[in-house]
Every structure is written in C-alpha cells, then in structure tokens.
Structure 1
Amino acid sequence: MNALAGMERAMGGLTSPDKVLIVDDHSLVRDGLRSIFDDAFPTCEILEADSLQSALQALDTADDVDLVLLDLNIPDVSHLSGLEALRDRFPATPVVMVSGVTDRNVVRDALAAGAAGFVPKSLKRTAIVEALQLVLSGEIYMPELECDETQAAEEDMIRARIETLTPQQRVVLGHLVAGRLNKQIAYELDVSMTTVKAHVSAILQKMNVFSRTQAVIMAGKIGFRG
C-alpha cells in the first residue's frame, strides 16, 4: 500500500486500496464488483480470477494485493476450502467472502475460518463500499441477518444431537450426507457391513429420526459434512 493510503488509514479517512483481486466464476458478477471499485476507488488496480487455482497464481505473481473478494461457490472449492487455502498461503492478505447465501451458520463459519468480512450480493452498492471500507480500516464486517428464533432453536437442537454421536458415528453420518451406500461406507472405512449398519442404527436413535434420509436432511440444516 502506498504512503498516501497508509496516511489516510492512520488519520481515519477513506482508505483507497491499491490493488484488489476479485475471484468469481461468473464474469457478470466480476464486472459488477469491478464497477463498484471503479466508482468508489478509481485509482485501484483490479485483478480477476475465475477459480481458486487462478486466484492463487494471481497472488503468487502480483505485488501487495490489499484485498481479495472471494465468491463462496466457485467450481474448484468445497464450502470454505477456498478461503482456507488463501488464508494458509497468504495470511497477511484480507479475504472478504462475497455470496448470495446469507445463512447465519455459513457467515459464522466463514468468519471463524479467518474471513475479514462476509458481503451478501444483495447489498446495495453503497453498503458494499461501506463494508469494504470497514475491512480496509482493519475491522471485520459482518452483515445484519434476520434471526428466526424458531430456526435457531431447531439448529441448536440438531447440533446437540449430533454432539452425542461417537467420532466414528460422525464419520458415518458424513458419508450418509455425501450420499454413499452402506457397502461404499464399509469399503471406505474398511469395516464390515454389519458394523456400518450398527453405526447407522445408533445414529438414527441418537438423532431421534426414523430413516437415513431424515438424518441427512437434519444434518443438512446445519451444514454438517462430517
């Protein structure tokens, strides 16, 4: 970051980033974010990437990227693996998640994994600029999300039930969520079909459901993957 930008930050004024990387596999979204920067930070250099791999390559070759805007769902990542990869290789570069998903659990998990902010794509342009300004000033941006108390209570109940599972049962539940059959799970874990069936039965009992489909649906409500 140049001396002027650093001075602006120190004085509490508007901070204009020198270089930003936008990572999204949809060119229309990248164009929209680029236009926001062109209007709010006209001197900022914009880099673009359409995958995690191209983002890593861009960061490897670019000097002093001030901010990365990362879409939650790009083809070569799973859940928050893209964020984790960027934080692991470039820990000093703030990464802001940008997504159409505003589930409070996803937002919480992203911030817990090291995101400097979570910006819903539904925000107005002015609100997006304010969010980015907050991150550039060293703060963490978290969107205001409506919290349905009934939904929150249900999710807490699901987590409590899953926490009663043994480590092996949690692994088996993860395989169920992934859509694997008992024989596939037995092969993956190198155990007998009888053992897998016993784990599945215990999972259904502890989660208080009557079928593996119900267990998968319940686990999906809190984003459980094993």
Structure 2
Amino acid sequence: MNDPAKRPQDSALASALVVDDHPLFCDALTLTLQSISDFAEIRTAGTLEKALEVMEDDPRIGLIVLDLNLPDVNGLDGLVRLRTAAPHAAILIASSMADNRMISHALKAGADGFVPKHSQRSVFRRALEAVGGGQAFVPDGYIDPRGDEAENGPGDALGRLASLTNQQARILALICEGKLNKQIAFDLSIAETTVKAHVTAIMRKLGVHSRTQAVLIAQEARFAKVLPTAE
C-alpha cells in the first residue's frame, strides 16, 4: 500500500485514468466514476502502453481503474509496470477474475483495492472512499489465502517485481523473450553497458544470481492468474 500522504489530496483537482480494452466497459466505468466522484478529468486507455503514455502526459492523475486483461500484457505484468510508473496514484483493479487468490496477488503487486467488474455502483463508491483514505479495499466475502502460500511463492515474486523501475521491467520482458544484451540495447536505443548495469540491478532486486532465475520469477507473476483457487 502506498503512502496516502504522498497522493493528491484534492480529488477535485486530480484526474483519473480508466484502463480497459473493451470500449463498452471503459465507457461504463467512466460514467460510474463521474457519478460518484468529482475528478476534473477522466481519461481512458485501451492498452498498457497507452496508459503509460497518459501517465507521462498527465501527472495530476490520482486514481487508475485497471482491468487485468489487456492485449499487451500477461497476468499481472501490467499492474506491476503501472505501479512503478505511478507510485503516488491509487490503483483500483476492476476485473472479472475476482477469486481470492487473484485478489491477493493483485494487492501484493501494488493494487490499492479490488472490485469485481459486476459490482454495483455503491461498491465502487465504497472502494473510492477507502483508497482515497489510504485504506485497501477488498470485496465482501474475500478471504486472504496468503497464509497457505509458501514463503517464496508467487506473492513474494510479485513483491520483488514491483520494486523494478519501468525501464528495468522492459528489459526483464526482453530477457524473457530470450534476447541478449546487444539486442536489448538495439531495441531500446541505449548503450550495451547501460543494459548490463540494469541487468545487474534487476538480479539484485529480485534476489537472484542468473538471468534464468530472473526469468523464472517473471514467469511466476505472469502465470499467477492461472493458479488454482483456494475454493
């Protein structure tokens, strides 16, 4: 959970961002926010890359409503990257994948709250009030399953991935594609020595000693959404 003291305190002056690749859901979420809040502007994005561009363009954004199923991300990668790019914004997940384990992983990866997509407007209102006050929000009936996970399970992997910078997350994604430092340097238009420095920092943050181990941790997060539920 981020420090609420570091977030925009006046929601009337802040913007919100809805990230969903389905136009109808995006419109519905936007209308819901307009009816229960007083954001100066509510912007939308249909992909993670577009969302990241919007975040760079508008530093006033204090709330992100994010769907986990986007065309350019796998699993919780999008949440991890947005959390890194927007450390002071509240991130509220609005997803149909609302089982206990998925909610737990999302909170561990940096989400401030989780609302099942089929929820009534009143639930979104309560979620906004909670995250606006610096408290995590989970739906009624949620049971935290993390006590049953191994210490170094997917939740731990997500926590470590969330510490990566946006550039480090991009480099790790390219490493997962099997690309060498020279290829990564070309793709990102940076020096190979810079890539090497980032790779060293990535492995230190993830607590691993090889690129293969780093890839395995990334895969834990990527496939977290297909883990069996506790029910």
Q: What's the CA shift for 1:101?
A: 1.3
CA distance in 2: counterparts of 1:43 and 1:113, whole angstroms: 26
Q: What's the CA shift for 1:21?
A: 0.3
Residue 135 (1) aligns with residue 147 (2): no
Q: Please give the residue correspondences for 1:9-158 in structure 2 after superposition, counting only pairs within 5 Å.
A: 16=12, 18-145=14-141, 156=148
Report which structure shows greater RCO (CA 8 Å, sep ≥6). 2
CA contact (8 A) 2:63 2:91 kept: yes
CA distance in 2: counterparts of 1:90 and 1:42, whole angstroms: 21
CA contact (8 A) 1:22 1:70 kept: yes
Secondary structure (helix, strand or coil) at the match of 2:98 reads coil
Pick closer, same or farther for the CA change 1:114–1:146 going to 2, 3 Å: closer
CA distance in 1: counterparts of 2:127 and 2:106, whole angstroms: 16
Question: What residue identity is the alignment partner of 2:41?
Answer: E
What per-residue deviation string (whole Å, max 9, x for no partner) do you get for residues 149-185 of structure 1? xxx7xx95xx67x98xxxxxxxxxxxxxxxxxxxxxx
CA distance in 2: counterparts of 1:134 and 1:17, whole angstroms: 19
What per-residue deviation string (whole Å, max 9, x for no partner) do you get for residues 31-50 of structure 1? 11111122122553110000
Q: What's the CA shift for 1:145?
A: 2.8
Question: What residue identity is the alignment partner of 1:91?
Answer: P
CA distance in 2: counterparts of 1:106 and 1:146, whole angstroms: 11
Q: What's the CA shift for 1:222?
A: 5.0
Question: What residue identity is the alignment partner of 1:56?
Answer: L
Pick closer, same or farther for the CA change 1:220–1:90 going to 2, 3 Å: closer
May I ask how many residue pairs the two structures share in their alignment? 149
Question: What residue identity is the alignment partner of 2:92?
Answer: V
CA distance in 2: counterparts of 1:220 and 1:34, whole angstroms: 31
What per-residue deviation string (whole Å, max 9, x for no partner) do you get for residues 107-166 of structure 1? 00110111010111121101111111211121111112366xxxx7xx95xx67x98xxx
Pick closer, same or farther for the CA change 1:125–1:63 going to 2, 3 Å: same
CA distance in 2: counterparts of 1:116 and 1:82, whole angstroms: 15
TM-score (norm. length: structure 2): 0.57
CA contact (8 A) 1:70 1:98 kept: yes
CA contact (8 A) 1:37 1:44 kept: no
Question: Percent identity of the aligned residues?
Answer: 32
Pick closer, same or farther for the CA change 1:109–1:17 going to 2, 3 Å: farther
Which shows bigger deviation, 41-50 or 69-78? 41-50
Match of 2:228 in 1: 221
CA distance in 2: counterparts of 1:17 and 1:135, whole angstroms: 17
